[in-house]
Structure 1
Amino acid sequence: MLPEIVRPVDLCLPSGALNPAALGWSRRALHRANLRTVPLSSRAATWSRTKRREHWGINTPDLLIALTVNSLNYAAAHQVWILDRSDGTVIEESAIVPLARHVELPETAFGGPVRALTRDLAIAVDTEDGSTRLRARTPRVRLDLHVPIPPESLGVVIPWSDRQFQYTLKSSALPVSGRLEIDDADTTVGPEAWANVDHGRGRWPYSTVYTSAVASGSVAGVRTGLHLGGLWTEGTGSTENALIIDSRVHYLPEETVWTLDADSPTGTWSIEGDRVEATLEPFHHGSTSTNLGIVATTTTGVCGTWRGWAADDDGGRHRLDGLVGWAEFTSNRW
């Protein structure tokens, strides 16, 4: 059984290798991703493998919103993405920045400012008085939201080896409020709005394939969040799976089995494990592909409504029916 970490810990040893004491999972942001600690002799190899990511997703009764700041060191990839659930219209502003210029990402989740700045896109994430402030600007969008810092989140290290590993912190079903302006039309966000966060820091293999899913909302008055992933964690002894009930994290250490039709806009995605049976019924399907030779990414994803159940640490089953979220299948050469 993967140990629960209860004290702050460095992700890396002074050599740049994975710190054995960092292996495990936590309920709070206890890992410090000291990824810059790399000896000169191996710096070139680890520099290109080091990845830092900050992703926020928000769902409201009318919209799905995603903000992404992603540094690969040799480049950065940022995005502001909004889906109008009524008609399927998507507003998207993406940017690729050589050498990850004008990017700021802290070593600890909720531990400092996040910044991405390009000519047509700006994202800022700040911690203020126990909450996280999310701001974004594009030619069509202005966004200013507040999300309380969760009392519990799932933090876990995925170890491929002592030189390649990933720390991720995830939380969902977080209440969110604020303002959103699209094409000069001002909208109030909340109270029926929910946020999720995906904070990642690590050193990845060149080629990876993974699945990921999230659900957020309220079921019969119970604030419920779910995080599921697969493929990339197989054989590591760790998973990124968790059920969150009224801010309490219930870690799901077992691997899950995914059944999906990545090419079908309407096909359901099903995920099963010892403590979860979840099905996502899509209301939006999308795919993206980038091929720059040695660097290539293909992602197929769906946004939709969940049904099914997941079990807490005591075996009690919690319904997922009506939760909103997404799932994706990604193949990377990076």
Structure 2
Amino acid sequence: MIERELRQRVPLVGADGVFNPAAHGWARQPIVDTSGIDGRRSWGRNKRWEYWCITTPTHLLALTVSSLDFAAVHEVWVFDRVTGESIGRGATGIGARSATLPANLEGGPARARVGALSIDIEEVPGGTRVRAAIPDAAFDVIAEHPAGHERLAVVVPWNRKRFQYTVKDVARPATGTVTVRGAVSEVPAGESWAVLDHGRGRWPHDVRWNWGAGSGRLDNGRVIGIQVGGQWTDSTGSTENSVLLGTRLHKISEQLVWDYDTADYLRPWRISGGGFDAEFVPFYDKRSRTNLGLLSSSTDQCFGHWSGTFDSGEETVRFDDVLGWAEDVHNRW
């Protein structure tokens, strides 16, 4: 597959509000202007969100701020890797009023307020501050932005009315604290990582996807960030596959082969293609099911460790026990 690398800022939609073909491609930084996905000029199929997941030696932390036009859906989740305890709360607001989302990534704060759930995301010197709180749990984390750090930005078009812009930013060094029932634990520097999924687009009603990510270090101390996806990009001329080595992004312009057991998601997964060959061994399945007729969601987000090899065309690297996740999702939304 031949994908075009975008090198200059480009709008996702034109003045008519429909997809701009000049935006079809990928970039090393978030240079696509998504201010046209605002829920005003076109309403009903817009999807806007910020998802952060932080992995630490002791905890998994995640939050979602999202607007789906007709509803704003948010979540905060804290998982204790030692005890296996999961503390989470989701909240849905009618319309988009409970969500504050910037027109472009890092163009302003993102916030959510629904009942006892609160989320605040804002840019600070050297990185992004990510805060979330629900009853019994809270976290306050800085996701550092190292100099020269690249992130994968991809525009995926299904047609001129349905398209998605995603930024997958992996292996951001993280520091901060997580608090569970008053007990404070560190998010230790050098051992903790933050990953961002930033999305803006207009989606079909029925869609399936895979997403996998991992952050860590090679044996020589070099940073590695894994970013792989599947299903939703099929036949679009785009992929969301890449590997970060150090601060440099290596794009994989090939659909990967995903092999996993939908009857037992905790069995090892195998993902390969485009120089990437890895096994993913899960230890926890964050499983959720919702069925409201026209609106439904089925998600198995498995957390575990990646091991394998990656051939960038310039070198082949071996990685082992890289903490992250792989998921299988089916949404009607």
What is aligned with 2:84?
88
CA contact (8 A) 2:171 2:216 kept: yes
CA positional deviation for 1:265: 4.9
Q: CA deviation at 1:320?
A: 2.6
1:148-202 residue CA offsets vs partner (Å, 9 max, x unmatched): 2353110010010111100000111111111221100011111210111110100
- Give the alignment's Cα RMSD to 1 decimal: 1.5
Task: Give, in whole Å, the separation in 1 of the partners of 2:262 and 2:254.
Answer: 24
Q: Distance in 2 between matches of 1:63 and 1:180?
A: 8
| Separation (CA, whole Å) in 1 of partners of 2:97 and 2:306 | 38
Counterpart of 2:114?
Answer: 118
Q: Secondary structure at the match of 1:320?
A: strand
Amino acid at match of 1:71: S
1:280-319 paired onto structure 2 within 5 Å: 280-312=280-312, 314-319=313-318
2:26 counterpart letter in structure 1? W
Structure 2 residue aligned with 1:233: 233
Match of 1:328 in 2: 327
Contact kept, 8 Å, 2:164 with 2:200, in 1: the verdict is yes
Looking at structure 2, the residues matched to 219 and 137 of structure 1 have their Cα atoms a distance apart, in angstroms, of: 33
Q: Structure 1 pair 229/105, CA: closer, same or farther in 2 (3 Å)?
A: same
One-letter code aligned to 1:199: H
Match of 2:67 in 1: 71
Amino acid at match of 2:175: S
Q: % of aligned pairs identical?
A: 38
Counterpart in 1 of 2:279? 279
Bigger mean CA deviation after superposition, 255-264 or 194-203: 255-264
The counterpart of 2:158, out of the listed 149, 156, 160, is 160
Q: How far does residue 311 in structure 1 lie from its aligned partner after superposition?
A: 2.3
In structure 2, the gaps of 5 or more residues are none
How far apart, in 1, do the equivalents of 2:59 and 2:324 lie?
11
Q: How far is the alpha carbon of 1:39 from its aligned partner?
A: 9.0
Task: Describe the shift of the 1:65–1:38 C-alpha distance in structure 2 as closer, same or farther (beyond 3 A).
Answer: closer
Asked if the contact 1:14/1:37 (under 8 Å) is kept, the reply is: no
Counterpart code for 2:176: G
**Secondary structure in 2 matching 1:234:** coil
Deviations 1:211-267 (CA, angstroms, capped at 9, x unpaired):
111011112101100111001101001001110011211111100011111231530
After superposition, where does 1:120-269 map in structure 2 within 5 Å? 120-149=116-145, 151-191=149-189, 192-220=191-219, 221-269=221-269
Inter-partner Cα distance in structure 1 for 2:150 and 2:200: 19
Note the C-alpha offset of 1:145: 1.0
Q: Answer whether contact 2:72 2:98 (CA < 8 A) is retained.
A: no
Separation in 1 of the partners of 2:225 and 2:40? 40
Alignment partners' CA distance in 2, 1:215 and 1:113: 26
Give the structure-2-normalised TM-score.
0.95
Contact 2:38-2:103 at 8 Å conserved across structures: no
The amino acid of 1:328's aligned partner reads: E
How many residues are treated as equivalent by the alignment? 328
- Paired letter, 2:159: S
- TM-score, normalised with respect to structure 1: 0.95
Q: Is the 8 A contact 1:262 1:300 kept in 2?
A: no
